[in-house]
Structure 1
Amino acid sequence: MASIGEIIFWSMIVLIFVCAGLIILLLAIAFSVSKGTVESSNPFPVGNLGEDVILECMFLSKSGSGSGSGSISGSNVLITWEKESLTGLVYQYNNNAAQLQQQNSQFSDRVQLFTDAIASGNASLLMRSVRTVDQGVYHCSVSAPGVSGTASIDLRVTVYSAPNFTISKNGLIAEAPRWQSRPNVTWLDKNGMQLNSNTQFTSISSDIVQVVSNLSGPLTSAEIYTCSIKNSFIQSISEVTGDGILKNSYFVTSSSPEMLPLRLLSTVSFLFYFLVW
């Protein structure tokens, strides 16, 4: 049986290790903050096949420079865009100029930065005429005075379009010129109740279709009806009156359900490691 002295001794040892772990954790957090931040407010963008897309990446230095809070010299900024499982770089900027010696040919003459906005913390990448092969995870790395870090952006590529509305003898017709993979189409009334409708798909090419959906009447001219067209990546939401007047139309992109648990697990593991160590 351990003596009181031994219990006190080992209790102190455990306490010392726990305190040391907490100190290291605080230092790690402080170091991270001192290095500024690199992040994206849209980590799961959806590109529309054949159209331009922006992969957003912003950086903020520890001194408040960048991201709209003052400015830094472009000559001191190194921005590197990479894509997972791809040889070569997507794009690199250094010494106030593009450095494309290691650029993968897939992105030749198709990507660029907003160079006039770099000094204010904008490292976003403009990608022109997005292709299916462009889909994947990209890493935006920034090294500048007071900031060093990387943001990840998961680009998904699909085909989508907002519908046009016309009045028919039987009700409303929504016609969207192109969608991928036969999207799910629903109509809702002002109370969110699903309404009876008939949707037809006309093949355009491969798995791209034209969508024509008919909402049967009788309809009320003053009431708002909601038409939703959705595939696994994006949803088109349109609000239209019974007499065909469009009141509101917008897109909602889906986020990856897998990323949050993985990041949460990494954070918990990190905390547990330092507390136990």
Structure 2
Amino acid sequence: MATIGQVIFRILIVIIIVLVAVIALIIGLSVAGNRTTNDVITVNAVGQIGEDVILSCTFTPDLQHLSDILWEKVGDTGVVYKYEGGKTVLTNQNPNFKSRTSLFLDQLSVGNASLKINNVQLGDAGVYKCTITNSKGKGENKLSLSVGAFSPLTVTNTSQTTLRCQSPSWYPEPTVSWLNAISGSVLTSFSTRYVPGLSSMVEVISDFSGAEEEKQYRCVIQNNLARAEGDAILTVTGLKTQTRLTVFSSGQITSPSRLLWCLLILIFHLGAVNL
């Protein structure tokens, strides 16, 4: 005979299952008109101001017929790029993307519909939609493009007890921290300057005072797009350094309906284990 706790647990499981099923049904109905067998996969991207970026979009290739490719930016009028009937059609292109976008046309046959945007600017940030249409049906997916600036850093010593951490281009304005690289403890005896540059970017200059020989220090510069680190040791023979730059990038966007169905399956599994 089930205990009161088991009964309550079963009731909660049933309520959660019903709620998730209802939400999944509502979302599923809302996208039913676009559901096809054409699986489109996109990956979020990070772009550097003034450089080129590639928005990844892949699909199951159609070996018998040409695929039509449509790129749009959510919230903007006009298309970002359109490829239809075997040729580029840009009569309705948003002027912000004029002469700045292209596909890898030689790779369409293998399912690569990725878009290249030249000279990325802050205004290019946003959500993009890649739509593929061919004999397999119509499929689409979205990705997020974040735009900013980040650059590797250098660590030098301006005196026998002062280390300087410097990096030329960041946006948004990053935070700076100094650490004991071995223990991870936070250091406070430093000062940081942000020097204005082009396109809203800033140069970062941070000086740490009180450095001791044979101790390993770490400078960290970070914003929501990237993290630059530099380790330094003052020795009797000079300064030894090592630096690295990590760019953050979100993974593939999963549709809400797919995510909810995965959650529903997990709940059923948990319920089966505990009932």
Regarding TM over 0.5, the answer is: yes
Tell me the alpha carbon deviations over residues 99-118 of structure 1, each in whole angstroms, 9 at most, x when there is no partner: 11221111111000111222
Rate the CA distance shift 1:212–1:34 in 2: closer, same or farther, 3 A: same
The structural deviation recorded for 1:239 is: 3.8
- Match for 1:154 among 144, 152, 155? 144
The 10-residue stretch of structure 1 (123-132 or 207-216) with the greater mean CA deviation from structure 2: 207-216
Equivalent residue of 1:129, what SS?
coil
2:183 maps to which residue? 191
Rate the CA distance shift 1:172–1:135 in 2: closer, same or farther, 3 A: same
Q: 1:31-110 alignment to 2 at 5 Å?
A: 35-40=37-42, 42-43=43-44, 45-59=45-59, 61=60, 66=61, 72=63, 76-110=66-100
Equivalent residue of 1:133, what SS?
helix
Rate the CA distance shift 1:227–1:144 in 2: closer, same or farther, 3 A: farther
Amino acid of the structure 2 residue aligned with 1:194: V
2:268 maps to which residue? none
- Match for 2:105 among 115, 123, 146? 115
- Match for 1:182 among 173, 188, 197? 173
The structural deviation recorded for 1:165 is: 2.5
1:210 maps to which residue? 203
Does 1:168 pair with 2:158? yes
Contact 1:38 1:148 in 2 (8 A): no
Equivalent residue of 2:207, what SS?
strand
Contact 1:228 1:235 in 2 (8 A): no
Rate the CA distance shift 1:219–1:83 in 2: closer, same or farther, 3 A: farther
The structural deviation recorded for 1:255 is: 4.7
User: What is the distance in 2 between the residues matched to 1:154 and 1:218?
Assistant: 45
User: What is the distance in 2 between the residues matched to 1:214 and 1:154?
Assistant: 36
User: What is the distance in 2 between the residues matched to 1:236 and 1:33?
Assistant: 39
Rate the CA distance shift 1:226–1:87 in 2: closer, same or farther, 3 A: same
User: What is the distance in 2 between the residues matched to 1:192 and 1:267?
Assistant: 39
The structural deviation recorded for 1:211 is: 0.4
User: What is the distance in 1 between the residues matched to 2:213 and 2:197?
Assistant: 31
Equivalent residue of 1:76, what SS?
coil
Rate the CA distance shift 1:171–1:120 in 2: closer, same or farther, 3 A: farther
Amino acid of the structure 2 residue aligned with 1:184: T
Taking only aligned residues, the RMSD between alpha carbons, in angstroms, comes to: 3.6
Q: 1:110-149 alignment to 2 at 5 Å?
A: 110-146=100-136, 148-149=138-139
The runs of 5 or more residues in structure 1 that have no matched partner are 1-17, 273-277
Equivalent residue of 1:267, what SS?
helix
Spell out structure 1 runs of 4+ moving beyond 6 A: none
User: What is the distance in 2 between the residues matched to 1:34 and 1:150?
Assistant: 9
The percentage of counterpart residues that share the same residue type is 31
1:220 maps to which residue? 214
Rate the CA distance shift 1:206–1:139 in 2: closer, same or farther, 3 A: closer
User: What is the distance in 2 between the residues matched to 1:194 and 1:254?
Assistant: 26
Contact 1:88 1:104 in 2 (8 A): yes
Q: TM-score, normalised by structure 2?
A: 0.69
The structural deviation recorded for 1:149 is: 1.5
The runs of 5 or more residues in structure 2 that have no matched partner are 1-17, 266-275
User: What is the distance in 1 between the residues matched to 2:63 and 2:187?
Assistant: 55
The structural deviation recorded for 1:87 is: 1.2
- Match for 2:229 among 238, 258, 272? 238
Q: Count residues with an aligned counterpart.
A: 227
Q: TM-score, normalised by structure 1?
A: 0.69
Tell me the alpha carbon deviations over residues 167-191 of structure 1, each in whole angstroms, 9 at most, x when there is no partner: 3312432211122243101123133
